[in-house]
Amino acid sequence: MTLAEVVISMVIAGLAVVGIIGGYFYCTTSAEKAGLHLAANARALERLEETRSAKWDTASWPQVDQLVATNFPSKVVILDLSGSGGNAISATLNTSIAQVSTTPPLKRVRVDCIWLFKGVESITNTIETCRAPDQ
């Protein structure tokens, strides 16, 4: 073998190793981000369940309506990836409630879970539903 062949084969091997290492870092980052997306979705769903448990009864006298945005202020939560051992990521839950219809009574509930990935990329997970009064 000549020196040129050895150098070229070393360059090719080096490029392959750099590609493999880059792919590994990409995969681990993507897996971490996906886990945080799932944790943020779970936290947003928890808040949505809180709004579902709020009493809204139009059949009683006087009418009861606890499904208002002031009962669900912004809340800072921790996105917990069990067993990850990494830094805790905090997220903010914002809840908005709007009247869709008065006849029949219907409200739209939207929960946004806003968090930062690696302190740089702002990500928002949103869950939205409609709710009728208690029966």
> What's the pLDDT tens digit per position in 69-119?
999 999 999 997 766 666 788 999 999 999 999 888 999 999 999 999 988
Provide the whole-model pTM: 0.82
Strands (E), the chain: 56-57, 64-65, 75-79, 89-102, 105-117, 121-131
User: Domain limits at 122?
Assistant: 3-131
pLDDT tens digit string along 39-74? 999 999 999 999 999 999 988 889 899 999 999 999
Q: What is the pLDDT of residue 88?
A: 80
**Residue 3 structure tokens:** 């020196």
| Structure confidence at residue 87 (pLDDT) | 72
> What Å distances lie between residue 81 and 21, 33, 102, 113, CA to CA?
24, 11, 41, 16
Q: What is the mean pLDDT of residues 3-30?
A: 95
Cα separation of 6 and 110, whole Å? Answer: 62
Q: What is the tally of structural domains in the chain? A: 1
